[in-house]
Structure 1
């Protein structure tokens, strides 16, 4: 077993255990910490595959996102005990289970009706062998023409700004 396989197993175990801990913990600050370890593991996977740009972007963007999550979790839960947050009515929990089951059934329906083998056996195109460079990623991110992602990027940034303002308004009312 070479070092890349060992590192893959270590990162995979870290990510699985941290993601389970994120879901199962009752403290929002601990959940954010465990989520941070999941995102670091994802960045480690990118570095392991040789995608240094994506790994660095993962660390920079999501580390900043976790810091913002820390701030908002402290702002939004100040004065409230973590245990009080998780006291919910059985009715609310049952709706969650029903919606999760409906989503699972939709997922199974798509998997069973979609012909995945035909898509896998299709001949690869010439662009599949092309090397993606940081320059081409930057040009696509900042262009508004064909294959440009400037408009969706700006739409997401406006949506995130609206979420931040809404969270501040909720925290301010308390």
Structure 2
């Protein structure tokens, strides 16, 4: 049964991933992306990585998708149509993806995975303490850097989008 669920989730991820990058409507692309991220959380739940699944749902499927939708709505481009790439760019992108896939598969199949039977489990409290720890092995600095980076990316996107609109409005009024 788990195998069937996995293949269904994988099919949803592939289908909506392709739909997300090929859709010309911005809002539809974001919705398709949310289906991909929710399906990835489903795979995490399936392999009993509940903490990662919860993070996937809250941060990515919740926060990032809402941030993108908010940015799209803020600049009033709900029905914005994305331009289609030229055939040469599509071919270069496909070749780059195939090279990346080859490197990925080579790395995976060349690594000797060993199953470790460990009775020690990590609790959510220990993960949270490690994420917010200032000591060696703590992740508070990368956590804060990513927060600032996301904020800067959102502000940059808004400034770029509003800058075009403001320039167009000033040219029309003169």
What range describes the TM-score normalised by the shorter chain of this pair?
0.7 to 0.9
The CA RMSD measured in Å over matched residues stands at 3.0
Tell me if the contact between 1:76 and 1:170 (Cα under 8 Å) persists in the aligned partners.
no
CA distance in 2, matches of 1:150, 1:49: 27
Relative distance call for 1:46 and 1:155 in structure 2 (3 A) is: same
1:94 matched to 2:94? The reply is: no
Once the two structures are superposed, what CA deviation does each residue of 1:54-104 show, in whole Å capped at 9, x if it has no partner?
21221111212111111212334628741xx3156x4xx635644664675
Distance 2:74 2:3 in 1: 41
Could you tell me the TM-score, scaled by structure 2's length? 0.75
Gap change, CA 1:80 and 1:39, over 3 Å in 2? closer
Q: Is the contact made by 2:20 and 2:29 (CA closer than 8 Å) also made in structure 1?
A: yes
2:170 match: none
TM-score by length of 1: 0.75
How far 1:24 moved relative to its partner? Answer: 1.5
- Greater length-normalized contact order (CA 8 Å, ≥ 6 residues apart): 2
Instruction: For residue 106 of structure 1, report the CA deviation from its aligned partner.
Output: 6.9
Q: SS at the partner of 1:120?
A: coil
Task: Assess, with a 3 A threshold, how the Cα gap between structure 1 residues 140 and 71 changes in structure 2: closer, same or farther.
Answer: same
Q: How many residues align?
A: 163
Structure 1 unaligned spans of 5+: none
Structure 2: 5+ residue stretches without partners: 166-174
Structure 1 pair 52–161 and aligned structure 2 pair: CA distance change class (3 A): same
Go from structure 1 to structure 2 and tell me whether the alpha carbon gap of 1:18 and 1:104 turns closer, same or farther (over 3 Å shift). closer
1:31 aligns with 2:45: no
